[in-house]
């Protein structure tokens, strides 16, 4: 296969795999996590939305790997509690807040009612990879470049750019079929930015937590080359996911906060593998047109089936013959060996 064609093929596969990691939360009675939304483009001459903060100052240009403000550095965003960002005093402006629902390290939702008793869902996600949003950001909000996407008059995604190279940002999603979803989205986004700048939603990680770790820098080069080949490209995705894509194979690493089954059965087809140091891995292989093998381990387990897992996936085109499970296990062992003991 031509190298350029192979690279495009792998990147497309990578996007499909990694996009599933950061699925959108449900809103307003519909499970949006199971839907795939088209990205809309705002015309270049579209009227800019007003900035509720009254700020007309544009964000300073970002340099490679630098946030537009030190408050938005990835290491700080990793410790930002998204549920604490859903300030009830702000939510009460829109109606009656409901229960908060956490989804991973970086996303939280509040499924509430508006002042008329209609469904209104608010979701915030921090450290989200920005591609279309960065390209089309033509508004200003809280002093940051912003982008709005409206979905069939039932949801609005208000994104603010916190870093340009690579693109990272914060998205507030409003699910609301009975009114203007973007207006509360802007108001909540301004509140979120202000709270992050004030470090008002910072959390203290548990001992041994994965939350502070950058998955892109944790594995050493030798482990990456063994799993993806020497000629690989690095693809960060969000704050807790990374992939290395080579000519004919790829490997990805994800750190997740998730439900931990009492019996550790994450998949009915899983098998147990020894990852060394007393760590048990749970391995599942897939024999699709792009075969893969996934190995996960439990890093932390709480008392209410909450916890953290690490997840490694090795994959490649069917024509590429190599032991994907052995590759995933070896990479997982290398990663586990680099995780601080707490």
Interatomic CA distance for residues 311 and 284, integer angstroms: 11
* 68 and 177 both lie in a single domain: yes
Q: How high does pLDDT run on average in the chain?
A: 84
Give me 342's structure tokens.
């707490």
**Is there a domain that residue 178 lies in?**
yes
**Is there a domain that residue 268 lies in?**
yes
Interatomic CA distance for residues 308 and 30, integer angstroms: 27
CB 272 within 8 A of CB 329: no
Q: Report, as an integer, the average pLDDT of 212-216.
A: 97
Do β-strands 271-274 and 250-259 pair in parallel, antiparallel, or remain unpaired?
unpaired
Contacts 24+ apart (CB under 8 A), 82-86: 82/106, 82/107, 82/108, 82/124, 82/125, 82/126, 82/201, 83/108, 84/195, 84/200, 84/201, 84/203, 85/124, 85/126, 85/191, 85/192, 85/195, 85/196, 85/201, 86/110, 86/122, 86/124, 86/188
Give me 194's structure tokens.
């202000």
- Say how many domains are in the chain: 2
CB 84 within 8 A of CB 71: no
Interatomic CA distance for residues 56 and 290, integer angstroms: 49
Domain that holds residue 314: 221-336
Give the three-class secondary structure for 67: strand
Per residue in 83-96, pLDDT tens? 999 999 999 999 99
At residue 342, the pLDDT reads 61
Q: Report, as an integer, the average pLDDT of 215-239.
A: 97
* 186 and 228 both lie in a single domain: no
**Is there a domain that residue 287 lies in?**
yes
* 151 and 187 both lie in a single domain: yes
Confidence of residue 152 (pLDDT cuts 50, 70, 90): confident
Burial class of residue 269 in the structure, from the number of CB atoms within 10 Å of its CB (0-12 exposed, 13-18 middle, 19+ buried): exposed
Single residue among 148, 165, 197 that ends a domain in this structure: 197
Say what the alpha-carbon torsion angle 178, 179, 183, 188 is, to the nearest 10 degrees.
Answer: -20
* 294 and 253 both lie in a single domain: yes
**Is there a domain that residue 237 lies in?**
yes
Does the structure show a pLDDT above 50 at 25?
no
**Is there a domain that residue 25 lies in?**
no
| Residue pointed to by tokens 């301004």 | 190
Query: pTM (2 decimals)?
Result: 0.81
Residue 95: CB atoms within 10 Å: 19
* 171 and 305 both lie in a single domain: no
Lowest mean pLDDT, pick from 19-23, 159-163, 170-174: 19-23
Say what the alpha-carbon torsion angle 271, 287, 234, 211 is, to the nearest 10 degrees.
Answer: -30
* 69 and 116 both lie in a single domain: yes
* 274 and 157 both lie in a single domain: no
**Is there a domain that residue 2 lies in?**
no
Single residue among 197, 213, 229 that ends a domain in this structure: 197
Does the structure show a pLDDT above 90 at 32?
no
Residues of the chain above pLDDT 70, percent: 81
| Residue pointed to by tokens 């894509």 | 245
Q: Does residue 59 or residue 304 have the better pLDDT?
A: 304
CB 176 within 8 A of CB 184: yes
**Is there a domain that residue 216 lies in?**
no
Q: Report, as an integer, the average pLDDT of 112-133.
A: 96
Do β-strands 119-129 and 271-274 pair in parallel, antiparallel, or remain unpaired?
unpaired
Does the structure show a pLDDT above 90 at 102?
yes
Taking alpha carbons only, the member of 259, 258, 242, 260 closest to residue 250 is 242
Does the structure show a pLDDT above 70 at 185?
yes
* 192 and 242 both lie in a single domain: no
**Is there a domain that residue 132 lies in?**
yes
Contacts 24+ apart (CB under 8 A), 217-225: 218/253, 218/335, 218/338, 218/339, 219/253, 219/331, 219/334, 219/335, 219/338, 220/334, 220/338, 222/334, 223/330, 223/331, 223/334, 223/335, 224/251
Interatomic CA distance for residues 215 and 236, integer angstroms: 8
At residue 34, the pLDDT reads 29
* 233 and 153 both lie in a single domain: no
Does the structure show a pLDDT above 80 at 73?
yes
CATH number of the CATH domain containing 306: 3.40.1000
* 172 and 245 both lie in a single domain: no
* 262 and 321 both lie in a single domain: yes
* 181 and 144 both lie in a single domain: yes
């Amino acid at each position: 296969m031509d190298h350029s064609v192979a690279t495009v093929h792998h990147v497309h596969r990578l996007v499909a795999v990694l996009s599933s990691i950061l699925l959108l939360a449900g809103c307003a009675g519909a499970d949006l996590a199971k839907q795939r939304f088209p990205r809309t483009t705002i015309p270049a001459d579209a009227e800019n939305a007003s900035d509720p903060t009254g700020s007309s100052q544009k964000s300073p240009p970002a340099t490679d790997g630098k946030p537009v403000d030190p408050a938005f550095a990835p290491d700080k965003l990793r410790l930002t509690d998204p549920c604490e960002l859903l300030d009830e005093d702000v939510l009460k402006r829109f109606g009656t807040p409901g229960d908060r629902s956490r989804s991973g390290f970086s996303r939280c939702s509040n499924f509430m009612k508006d002042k008329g008793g209609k469904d209104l869902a608010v979701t915030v996600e921090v450290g989200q990879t920005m591609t279309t949003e960065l390209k089309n950001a033509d508004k200003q909000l809280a002093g940051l470049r912003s982008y709005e996407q409206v979905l069939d008059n039932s949801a609005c995604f208000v994104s603010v750019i916190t870093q340009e190279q690579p693109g990272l940002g914060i998205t507030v999603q409003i699910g609301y079929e009975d009114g203007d979803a973007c207006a509360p989205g802007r108001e909540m986004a301004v509140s979120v930015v202000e709270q992050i700048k004030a470090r008002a939603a910072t959390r203290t990680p548990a001992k041994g937590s994965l939350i502070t770790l950058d998955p892109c820098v944790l594995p050493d080069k030798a482990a990456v080359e063994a799993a993806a080949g020497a000629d690989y490209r690095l693809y960060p995705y969000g704050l807790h996911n990374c992939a290395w894509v080579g000519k004919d194979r790829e490997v990805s690493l994800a750190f997740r906060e998730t439900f931990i089954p009492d019996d550790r059965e994450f998949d009915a087809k899983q098998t147990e593998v020894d990852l060394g140091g007393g760590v048990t891995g749970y391995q599942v292989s897939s024999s699709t047109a792009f075969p893969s093998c996934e190995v996960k381990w439990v890093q932390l387990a709480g008392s209410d089936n909450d916890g953290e897992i690490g997840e490694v996936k090795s994959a490649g085109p069917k024509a590429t013959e190599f032991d994907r499970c052995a590759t995933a296990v070896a990479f997982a062992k290398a990663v586990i060996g680099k995780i601080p003991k707490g």
